[in-house]
Chains A and B, each alone.
Chain A
Amino acid sequence: MSTPLLDVSGIGIAFGGVRAVDEVSFKVATGEVFSIIGPNGAGKTTLFNLVTGIYRPSRGTVRLDGADITAVPPHLRVRSGMARTFQNLQIFFRMTAVENVMVGCALSERTSFLADLLGLPSVFRQNRVTRAKALALLERVGLADLAEAPAGALPYGALKRLEIARALAADPKVLLLDEPAAGCNAVETEAIDNLIAAVAKSGVAVVLIEHDMKLVMKISDRVLVLAQGRPLAEGPPRAVRENPQVIAAYLGDIGSREADRAHG
């Protein structure tokens, strides 16, 4: 592997004595799709929260592009090139779809508070630039038709893609996607699958949490399996799938989940 863009080392956090994430390390390179899988409650989302700075790790470090960002507050991590989506949708429901993505462009906007207050011409120029960028991103995720719709009125699958567009608006070097295809139908999953592959190809390191095994096996370069906060296995999708420990700890769980779904 070339020099890693994202380098997470020995990271961990405990909630009330329960080690939700314990001694997890992984590296992701530019252009790579790195997937994290594991049963419910394995600590995948918590790991994202540690990497993006929502939680402060009790141990371990996060490096981005060689720089230690473990102590950097979350909004500044975006500045160093980290963007994410959320498992539980975090949409600006009272704004339109395009405005949601425009918020994602915040970092590239160059107006001051005073200019905003006075409504200087530079603000309107900036708005036009931001809007054009946001519309292009909506086009890219296939939501161009819904640009002016209130986000609160969009269907679930569209909101998942809206979050991806908003994250891409920050021009990330690392994109962390927390179950982007959850709750999506086959067609939508296919679209998200293509989108992730295209994003990775454009030179972004993609970290993907996903329960849809078909999707994971298809687009991942490497897979990390978490169970009870600990790394269980890591490697190419095929090797991981055939790992007996993984089958025991995880695929059994998937089986029961599928069964749950079948029974409604």
Chain B
Amino acid sequence: MKAILRSRLTPLLALALVMALVPMIAPTSFHLRVAALVWIFSLAALGLTILMGYAGQVSLGHAGFLGIGAYAVAIGPARLGLDPLLCLLLGAVLSGLVAWLVGRPILRLKGYYLAIATLGFGVIVALILHSETELTGGPDGMSVARVTLFGWRVTGALNWYWVSAGALLVGALLALNIAASPTGRALRALHDSEVAATGAGIDVSAKKLAAFVLAAVYAAVAGGLLAAMNGLITPEAASFSHSVELVAMVIIGGLGSVFGTVLGAAFLVVLPQALTAFQEYEQAVLGLLIMVFMIFLPQGIVPSLRALIEERLP
């Protein structure tokens, strides 16, 4: 039982199982859209799980990368006549490139300073998306062309459900691969002691940068999927509150747990839908629930539950 709890592929199988079950339990297109949103935000948060959970580096501007990916899929086809799928890839590459350029100076900073610097980056992206009206449509945003996957026009909630679920499964597999590799060990090591990681011959700045770039690529792919699924994108996608939500998903899930990240994302995507009854108090209730969560499961959902279960097992 403990072996199963610890196995690398357990979270992946659990995730696939949940993905297969959801359409049976909740077949309306509204529910499927919400579920697809969960998968997409999980994907974005998974990148942060690698950066924050494994490597211990905070990014408070990660929605900026999500915005880059989203607007690549919006702008490419509309303004340059490019294929949307190609734009999804280009957006991921562009986002990774920007992360590399921005990350090199920023990642030398630690703790709060890193948080503030990444926050600044996110604000700049949101500002550009707001003000470059000719390109981005400004605060009203712009509509996004339909995506064609190898001749198949992706429309309808169920199709988007499976596309986003597939993307998340791939993302989760890669994140789990990294965790179980020399790179993952290096990231977890520098999280605990940069000086000792350096002393083991690890190029700490290069590893941090790799994690940052990877996290940016995850966010950009998620952003691209979000834009394509919704058929509309606004600068809100790159907003600071979105960045904070992504961080909250990772923390609620338990900093470093892949399955936990998905639960964290589900929590923060589904709950606001369920809380609409509270109207203007929605945000306050959400905040309260997050606080309650952190008080009773301080390590996040998955690690806390795992500890509880392991305690009870012989």
Contact = CB atoms under 8 A, between A and B. Distances in A.
Are A and B physically bound partners? Answer: yes
> Chain A, interface size: which category?
35 or more
A25 B297 CA distance: 55
A117 B189 CA distance: 17
Nearest to B184: A116
A92 B177 contact: no
Contacts of B178: 116-117
B173 A119 contact: yes
B16 interface: no
Contacts of A94: 188, 191-192
Interface string A94-131: 11000110111011010101011111000100110010
B201 A106 contact: yes
B159 interface: no
Contacts of B200: 78, 83, 103-104, 106-107, 166, 169-170
B199 A106 contact: no
Given A90-B196, A107-B201, A116 B181 contact: yes
B279 interface: no
Nearest to B213: A113
A93 B191 CA distance: 10
B204 A75 contact: yes
Contacts of B174: 117-119
Nearest to B182: A109
B186 A103 contact: yes
A127 B195 contact: no
B170 to A, nearest CB: 11
Interface residues of B, number: 29
A95 B185 CA distance: 9
B177 A117 contact: yes
A117 B185 CA distance: 13
Contact of B195 (A86, A104, A166): A86
B244 interface: no
B210 A113 contact: yes
Given A111-B181, A116-B177, A130-B182, A95 B193 contact: no
Contacts of B203: 75
Contact of B182 (A92, A100, A116, A166): A116
Contact of B202 (A52, A95, A103, A127): A103
A254 B105 CA distance: 46
Nearest to B192: A92
A167 to B, nearest CB: 7
Contacts of A119: 173-174, 176-177, 180-181
A84 B192 CA distance: 17
Given A94-B188, A95-B188, A119-B177, A103 B195 contact: no
Interface string A194-238: 000000000000000000000000000000000000000000000
Interface of B: 173-174, 176-178, 180-186, 188-189, 191-193, 195-204, 210, 214
10 smallest CB-CB distances across A and B, nearest first, come from A119-B177, A78-B201, A116-B181, A90-B196, A116-B183, A92-B192, A107-B201, A90-B193, A103-B189, A109-B182
Given A83-B200, A104-B200, A111-B182, 16 more contacts: A54-B198, A75-B198, A75-B201, A78-B201, A90-B193, A92-B197, A95-B188, A103-B196, A106-B201, A109-B182, A111-B181, A116-B181, A116-B183, A119-B173, A127-B180, A166-B200
8 contacts: A84-B199, A92-B188, A94-B188, A94-B192, A116-B184, A117-B178, A119-B173, A123-B177
